[in-house]
Chains A and B, each alone.
Chain A
Amino acid sequence: MENFPLVLVLSSIIKIVIIVHLLIIGVMIMIWAERRVSGWMQDRLGPNRVGPQGLLQPIADGLKFMFKEDIIPDHVDKPLYVLAPAMLLVPALIVVAVVPFGSSITLFGNEIPLQIADVNIGILYILAITSLGVYGVVLGAWASNNKYSLLGGLRSSAQMISYELTLGLAIIGVLMLTNTVGDNSALSLRVIAESQGSHLWHWNFLIHFPAFLAFTTAMFAETNRLPFDLAEAEQELVAGYHTEYSSMKFAMFFMAEYMNMIVGSAVVVTLFLGGWHFFGLENVGGPVWSGLISFGIFFVKTAIFLFVFIWVRWTLPRFRYDQLMNLGWKFLLPVALSSIVVTGTLWITTDGNRLWIGIGNMVSAFIVVSIVAGLLVMNKAPEPAIPDSDRQITPSALDAIE
């Protein structure tokens, strides 16, 4: 701490500037991609007038947002109403600090890791900061002083608390195996990415496939995206927690959602999909080029995962509230827990054989899911507030699995 090395400070500033701008440009591209891809999936065109292929559409949207009148309704709690969008956007921005987006570049004899901060508790940092995003939603909802907003906020907080557990537990299996490499700082995202190696069959998503699915699902829930967007369900709640927001404040909520998606994809890529590795391609070229190529690989992987985000949104309908809670507490949580137990047990009994751990994880997840589904079918979930005339369509356990 005494003498600040100039290279470190300069390179950090440059990295921060580049990454933040990449995030914001990424948000714009994602908004365009979402509209184009949804158009493609629904056999229509989507925005294609502004610029080539409609690529300048997000800029037009942004200008429109900025020139709209910024209305603050009279009945709101003003300080919190103004603060809430920022409280959602800031966590989305600062999470990216610990994500390693490439190996390293050697410039003028200095090795510069392609990561803003290699914190030795990286993964805990991500869990901590993402859990703060809920405040923006909840406070915005409450400050709006509107029933629909408040309902949206309450739904969102319940959902986020439920799925955060899965998010945290699903990672533990990955951490256990990462630690066997002999490094004490297995919580650092860089170490996790490095320990997966270049080949597909060493990446964590095969060894911890159930945990990977649970983590990804929980990630979708944390970003409030479509199968889980009960917080803003248009048909029920107008627009949920951002009903009362207009102009740039609404745009901030909107940007935060997309930023969360981008960061979430980057985290999934780092934890489960091998980070910047791709069959040795990341080592091609000199010390500068290999760094840039690794960054490109990471970028492409994240982009592919983002496409999955859009794909899911335009494929799956929204969950009902009890289905959401069933999925979170009765399926994802036991699967994540079983993956911890099985990974730990097999790691000791088979001396860390990853093939056996992978098979064991699959089998145990299958068993857990069938037991839970069987129990749900046997004692059908009690359904409140449904009149007798509608009783024929009881939400059976099959609904819950969907």
Chain B
Amino acid sequence: MNPEQILFILFGAVSLIGAIAVISFRHPIYSALSLIVTFFAQAGLFVLLGAHFVAAVQIIVYAGAIMVLFLFVIMLLNLGTLSAKGAISGKLKGFAVILGILLAIEGVYIAVKAINDPAVASAETATESVNTTTYTIGELLFNEYLLPFEVTSLILLAALIGVIVLVKRESQAENEVQ
């Protein structure tokens, strides 16, 4: 086993354990922290693939910004420990089982396909094809994928404006009541 494989197993294991911990902790803050651990392990996997930029963005955006906001909200609402029984109702349980089965089928399908497809199975080709320095990503984003990139930014802008409008309307209503 070369060091890369050892690291891959390590990061994979940590990310799996973190993901399981997210759903098994009863306390929302601990769940959020486990999710951060998972993000870190995934960033490690990206580094192993040579995608340093994606790894950095993963940490900056998810671990550094989004999860801080999550924690912020959890702390503000001061959510206590969720009880084991009341959390999932009967209807949701059936839904969860169906989704779980679908996910399992997907996983098996991908695994089988990867084993049969030599290009996907060998790690070296993967590293070469995902040779994503920041420069390459920038070039692709602003040439080949310019339209999807701009559309994404428009969607984000729309979401932003939507939030501002919603908040403004609420505060105006409050003022009128006062």
Contact = CB atoms under 8 A, between A and B. Distances in A.
Interface string B128-146: 0000011100000000000
Contacts of B135: 184-185
Output the residue of B33, B68, B133 with the most chain A CB within 10 A.
Answer: B68
Given A120-B133, A124-B57, A164-B65, 14 more contacts: A124-B134, A125-B56, A127-B60, A131-B68, A132-B63, A138-B68, A142-B29, A150-B75, A157-B68, A158-B72, A161-B65, A161-B68, A184-B133, A185-B135
Nearest to A160: B68
A128 B59 contact: yes
A132 B36 CA distance: 10
A127 B64 CA distance: 9
A332 interface: no
Contacts of B56: 121, 124-125, 127-128
B77 to A, nearest CB: 12
Given A154-B75, A161-B65, A80 B60 contact: no
A206 to B, nearest CB: 26
A124 B60 contact: yes
B105 interface: no
Across the A-B interface, give the 10 residue pairs with the lowest CB-CB distance, nearest first. Answer: A131-B64, A124-B56, A128-B59, A184-B135, A121-B52, A128-B60, A121-B56, A128-B56, A142-B75, A157-B72
Interface string A1-40: 1100000000000000000000000000000000000000
A179 to B, nearest CB: 9
Interface residue SS majority, chain A: helix
A157 B71 contact: yes
Contacts of B160: none
Contacts of A161: 65, 68-69
22 contacts: A1-B2, A1-B3, A120-B52, A121-B134, A124-B57, A127-B56, A127-B64, A128-B56, A128-B59, A129-B59, A131-B59, A131-B60, A131-B65, A132-B64, A134-B68, A135-B36, A139-B33, A139-B71, A142-B29, A157-B71, A158-B72, A161-B68
A1 B3 CA distance: 8
A127 B133 CA distance: 17
Output the residue of B2, B4, B64 with the most chain A CB within 10 A.
Answer: B64
B102 interface: no
B8 interface: no
A167 to B, nearest CB: 11
Interface string A155-190: 001101100100010000000000000001101000
Interface of B: 2-4, 29, 33, 36, 52-53, 56-57, 59-60, 63-65, 68-69, 71-72, 75-76, 133-135
A161 B137 CA distance: 26
Contacts of A142: 29, 71, 75
A135 B68 contact: yes
A153 interface: yes
A304 to B, nearest CB: 30
A72 interface: no
Nearest to B136: A184
Given A127-B60, A131-B64, A134-B68, A1 B4 contact: yes
A233 interface: no
A119 interface: yes
B64 A164 contact: yes
A274 B35 CA distance: 39
Nearest to B43: A128
Nearest to A119: B52
Contacts of B3: 1
A154 B77 CA distance: 12
